[in-house]
Structure 1
Amino acid sequence: MVGLALLALLAAACGDSSSESNASQQPQGASLRITLGTQEFPEGRILGELWREALAVNGYTVNLKKDVGPAEDLDQALRDGEIDGYVAYTGTVLSIVAGEEVSGLDPDETYAAAEQYYADQDMAISEMTPYQNKDALATTSAFAAENDLTTIEDLRRLDSFVLGGRDEFESLYLGLEGLQKVYGLTNAEFAPFALGAQYAA
C-alpha cells in the first residue's frame, strides 16, 4: 500500500504562565528549551536528530527523547506533558491518532485535516515540510517475475502469500487492514517480525 504522509513538528499550545512546570510548560527563562520525542525505528531517530539540529540553529536547546514508541504513544506523551513535540507523519496522525479516513487525500488535504484535528484540541502543528514518506511492498525480483507482479493489485491473483512486518502492521489501516480493504488482499497471511528482520527473512 502506498501511504502518503508528510512530516511536521507537533507542539502543545502554550500554557498559562502560572501553571506548574513540566515538559510542555517551561519555567520562566527557559522558553527555548524543549523536549522532542521520536519513534523507535531508525528513520524516526534520524528525523529527530535533524529537527534538533534545525532548532538548535534557531537558538533552541533540545532534549531528544528517543524511542518513545509509535505515533499513538508519542501523542499521549505530548498530552501528558512528557514531551513538547514530535516529528509526525500527517497521514499517520489522521489514521492512527485521529482515527479518520485518509485514502484519497492529497498531501495538502492530509496536512489541512491534521492541522484541524490538533487545532480542535488547542494544539498546534508546524508548517508542512517539503518531504514525503511513501510506503511500499517489497519482494524479491525472482518472486515478482515468477508471479508477474508489477502492482499491489496483482497480489490478488495469488492463492496466498506471506506478508511480513512489525506486530502492529497487522491491525493498521496503513498496514494489512488497509491492504485488505483497499486492494482486497484477503489472501495475505501475516508474519510478525522484529524491526529489520523482515529483510533477512
Structure 2
Amino acid sequence: MKNTTPRSTLLNGAGLAVAAALLLTACGGGDGGGGDDGGTDDGALAGANLTAGSKEFTESVILGQITSVALEDAGATIEDQTGISGSATVREALETDEIDFYWDYTGTGWVNILGHTTEDVPEDLYQAVADEDAENGIAWLEPAPFENTYRIAVKQDFADENGLVTQSDAAEFITANPGQARVCAASEFINRDDGLPGLEEAYGFEFSETVELDLNLIYTQVGDTCEFGEVFSTDARVASNDMVILEDDEDFFVQYQGAMTLRQDTLDEFPAIAEIMAPISEKLTNETMMELNGKVDTDGEDPRDVAEDWLQDQGLIG
C-alpha cells in the first residue's frame, strides 16, 4: 500500500477565497455542481487532500469511487487507494491514517470490528455501532438504505430439483447428501464468526468440502466446482448466472447496512463531507447498488465511470 499524501489543513480567510476562485477557473465554471436533488457546492472542500479506500470487491470499490468523485466535485484532491484486500486491512489503514475514508457495513462493524457476536444484535444496529465506534475515534455517517449481506446461493435448476428455498432446506439436504454438499467461498467468509463457521453452527450442519476461491470466481463455479456458494445479496451476478439465494429463515446473518466511515478528526476538520454525502447515501437503494454492480461485473464498465455517470444522472454533481 502506498503512503498517503500529507494532509493539509483548510485554508482560511482570503486564502480560501483565492483557492476556490482558482478551482472554479480550472473547472471551467462556477455554477456549483448538481440540481435540486442535493448537488454539491464547488469549493466546499477546497484545500482538502484526502485518500480514498475501499475493500477489494466491486460494490466497495464503486462506493469508494462515488465518494471520491463527489468530494472532488466539492474541491477536494483525492488519492485513490481503493481495492484493499480484507476488512481488517482496510480498517487498519483507516485507523493509521493511510486512508481517510471507506464504506463499511453495520454487521461487519458489530461483529468483526467491535467484537460482538451474532446473537446479541441490538434493534438499532447502526446507532449501536456508531456510538460504540465513536469511542475509537471513528465516525459512521448516516447509512444508505441498501443492505448487502452474506447469503448462500445455488443454481436455480439445482434448487428446483431438490426443493431448496431456505437455508434450513439446504441444511437438511446437505446432511442427507454429503456428496452434493460442496461450498465455494472466499477466505474472509470462511474465517469470520458471522460467516461460514457461524452459519454451520446456527443451522446444525457442515458442508462436506469448502473450496476457497477469489470472491469474483465463485459466481461462475457454483454448479460446477461447488453446489453451493457464498454470495452478496446486492450482487447482480446472482441473476446473470441463473442462481437463487437461499432464504436465511433462522435470521443468522446480521444486518449489513452500508455507511461511509472516517476518522472523527477528519470529519471535524472537514464537516462538509457529511453534508455532501447525505443526499448521495439516501439514493443508494438495494436496486441501485445491484444495477451499479452489474454495470461493472456484467457489462465490464470501469467503476469510476459508473460512479461519475450515476452521480451526474442523479443531479448530484455538476
The verdict on a shared fold, with TM-score over 0.5 as the criterion, is: yes
The amino acid of 1:165's aligned partner reads A
**Number of residue pairs matched?**
179
- The separation in 2 between residues aligned to 1:151 and 1:198, in whole angstroms, is 20
Match of 2:158 among 137, 143, 163: 143
Contact 1:24 1:84 in 2 (8 A): no
For 2:167, give the aligned amino acid: I
1:198 aligns with 2:218: yes
Give the equivalent residue in structure 2 for 1:59. 75
The normalised TM-score by structure 1 is 0.78
User: Partners of 1:29 and 1:128 in 2: how far apart?
Assistant: 26
The equivalent residue for 2:249 is: none
> Residue 50 of structure 1 corresponds to which residue in structure 2?
66
Cα distance in 1 for partners of 2:218, 2:8 equals: 45
Match of 1:16 in 2: none
* Cα 1:56/1:102, change in 2 over 3 Å: farther
Q: 57-66 or 85-94: which moved more?
A: 57-66
Q: Which position in structure 2 is the counterpart of 1:113?
A: 128
Distance 1:179 1:48 in 2: 29
CA contact (8 A) 2:114 2:133 kept: no
1:26 is aligned to 2:11: no
Which residues of structure 1 form unaligned runs of 5+?
1-21
Contact residue 166 and residue 194 of structure 1 kept, 8 A:
yes
Q: Which has the greater radius of gyration?
A: 2
Query: Gaps spanning 5+ residues in structure 2: where?
Result: 12-46, 222-318
Give the number of the structure whose residues are more often helix, by fraction. Answer: 2
1:128-139 alignment, distance < 5 Å: 128-139=143-154
Query: Is structure 2 residue 71 aligned with structure 1 residue 90?
Result: no
Contact 2:4–2:79 (Cα < 8 Å) also in 1: no
Separation in structure 1 between the aligned mates of residue 198 and residue 89 of structure 2, nearest angstrom: 21
Give the structure 1 partner of residue 306 of structure 2. none
Given that 2:8 and 2:49 are in contact with CA atoms closer than 8 Å, whether structure 1 keeps it comes out as no
Give the TM-score normalised by the residue count of structure 2: 0.51
CA RMSD of aligned residues (A): 2.4
Q: How many Å separate the matches in 1 of 2:208 and 2:166?
A: 15
Structure 1 192/176 Cα, relative in aligned 2: closer, same or farther at 3 Å?
A: same
1:11 corresponds to: none
Residues in 2 aligned to 1:188 and 1:99: alpha-carbon distance in whole angstroms: 29
Counterpart CA distance in 2 for 1:61 and 1:103 is 42
Native 8 Å contact 1:23 1:84 kept in 2: no
Shift of 1:91: 1.1
Moved over 6 A (4+): none
Q: Could you tell me how far 1:55 is from its partner in structure 2?
A: 2.0
